[in-house]
Structure 1
Amino acid sequence: MKLPQPRAILFDLDGTLADTAPDLAGAVNQMRLARGLSPTPYENLRPVASSGARGLLAAAFGITPEAPEYEAMRIDFLNRYETGLVIDSRLFDGVADLLVQLEQRGLAWGIVTNKAARFTDPLAPLLGLGHAGCIISGDTTPHSKPHPAPLLEAAARLQLAPQECWYVGDDLRDIQAGRAAGMPTIAAAWGYCGDAAPTTWGADELIHTPLQLLDLLRS
């Protein structure tokens, strides 16, 4: 069954449009080096990059938000990351071409991320994404994904009904948020994907490269 055709496509940022894991991993490994520890292997950090400070601190230090030292370490991580947002971060292969082709088809596109605006606002233009139709950060609304509020805010800013938007993301919470907002959802299998297989998330579609999204659009 074909998806209803969209008037806009909304994307998660980290792990969907952009491979930001190298700089996120770099920030947490700076913390380890400052404490006289060896770096955590990148392959252990990349799968949790979408979970931000919580996931990276757990992978690098085995620390959870309940620990008394967690908040100070979280602040340290965020400050380090802020100073190196785009050292090795890049758009995934095919993303820039995909966005051009969406624009040529007259489709709007936007970003809905759980990353705070403190990072999203400078990061998006550095990655060439500053011309998005809307950019909704994790602190734009009172709730972050998997709550539908950020996606509903994005649709409102684009002056569209939620069902006129598709949402593309690489994490279970992206699909949960999209479904809760009444949007068709597409799982991005090239992203970080956490510990779960994206085939189990209940997305309407699963794609393995950014440009495969075009196959879902009627010409």
Structure 2
Amino acid sequence: MNQPSPQPEPRIGTGSIDLCRAVLFDFDGTLADTAPDLVAAANKMRTDRGLDMLPYEQLRPLASAGARGLIGGAFGVGPEHRDYASMRDEFLANYEADICVETTLFSGIGELLDGLDERGIRWGIVTNKIGRLTMPLVEQLGLAERARCVVSGDTTPHAKPHPAPLLHAANELALQPEVIAYIGDDLRDVQAGFAAGMVTVAAAYGYCGLDLPPTMWHAQHVVDSPGQLQRLLSQLNG
């Protein structure tokens, strides 16, 4: 279980994208559009209880927060609730049973990764999704043999926004954090990236939550589409 950790305050970074030699991506909402299957897992919990399904558009912004976000959105239940642990287990069982029914890479991400590979720029994945869910999905999407590292939410004692997962990935890449760009669609991604000393990019095309908009996360770069992200990453020299 991830240990509680303080959330680093957002701050303006100083790294330069053109000096980066590798790229790390958040998974849900950044590389892969997993929301359809995550929302389906939450809505199955509702229909099993005789409740109406909620609109996809209502739950989609919560997908990057995983079980916590979707159970909260679907039932108004948080981690402090006495039933949360059992509901989280139920949600994860639903999701694991149908983990890659409608999930795909975001349009344009495949071409972006192809371009990085062709230029010899290493890339990896750092997600808060637990390993038993991360690896099968990464494999089904054809990324397992290509990603230079995959760090899940339970790989280190802390999950994002703690910098430990990102620093673990930097160690696996044998690079200093300041020459790595980290891209994510949640405020926690930017907080973790800053705390790790990486160049941060907010993926505003992702799920992004319901609180602050990505333009207020103080990321060094904000991109509105995978195409815009690809143009930004064209500055990398590898």
- Matches of residues 89-128 of structure 1 in structure 2 within 5 Å? 89-128=103-142
Name the amino acid aligned to 1:154: A
Partner of 2:151: 136
Partner of 1:187: 202
Answer yes or no: is 1:201 the counterpart of 2:217: yes
Answer yes or no: is 1:161 the counterpart of 2:176: yes
Name the amino acid aligned to 2:140: L
Partner of 1:173: 188
Q: Number of aligned residue pairs: give it.
A: 219
Distance, in Å, in 2 between the alignment partners of 1:73 and 1:90 is: 26
Name the amino acid aligned to 1:204: Q
Equivalent pair of 2:128/2:159 in contact (CA under 8 Å)? yes
Distance, in Å, in 1 between the alignment partners of 2:194 and 2:126 is: 14
Distance, in Å, in 1 between the alignment partners of 2:54 and 2:69 is: 13
Partner of residue 228 from structure 2, selected from 198, 212, 215:
212
Distance, in Å, in 2 between the alignment partners of 1:215 and 1:5 is: 15
How far did residue 32 of structure 1 move? 0.7
Percent identical? 56
Equivalent pair of 2:17/2:181 in contact (CA under 8 Å)? no
Partner of 2:74: 60
Structure 2 SS opposite 1:125: helix
Partner of 1:32: 46
Structure 1 SS opposite 2:155: coil
Q: Compare relative contact order (CA 8 Å, sep 6+) and give the higher one, 1 or 2.
A: 2
Q: Give the gaps of 5 or more residues in structure 1.
A: none
Residues 94-113 of structure 1: CA deviation (Å, up to 9, x unaligned) = 00000000111110000000
Distance, in Å, in 1 between the alignment partners of 2:230 and 2:82 is: 48
Q: Give the gaps of 5 or more residues in structure 2.
A: 1-13
TM-score by length of 2: 0.89
Structure 2 SS opposite 1:40: coil
Structure 2 SS opposite 1:45: helix
Partner of residue 83 from structure 2, selected from 46, 69, 73:
69
Partner of 2:163: 148
Residues 167-197 of structure 1: CA deviation (Å, up to 9, x unaligned) = 0000000000000000000000100010221
Distance, in Å, in 2 between the alignment partners of 1:178 and 1:212 is: 20
Name the amino acid aligned to 1:162: P
Partner of 1:10: 24
Name the amino acid aligned to 1:157: E
Distance, in Å, in 2 between the alignment partners of 1:47 and 1:110 is: 24
Residues 58-93 of structure 1: CA deviation (Å, up to 9, x unaligned) = 111111111111111111000110001100111000
Distance, in Å, in 1 between the alignment partners of 2:204 and 2:81 is: 33
How far did residue 215 of structure 1 move? 2.4
Distance, in Å, in 1 between the alignment partners of 2:224 and 2:71 is: 28
Equivalent pair of 2:37/2:102 in contact (CA under 8 Å)? yes
Distance, in Å, in 1 between the alignment partners of 2:159 and 2:36 is: 24
Name the amino acid aligned to 1:129: L
Equivalent pair of 2:24/2:180 in contact (CA under 8 Å)? yes
Partner of residue 85 from structure 1, selected from 99, 107, 119:
99
Distance, in Å, in 2 between the alignment partners of 1:132 and 1:17 is: 12
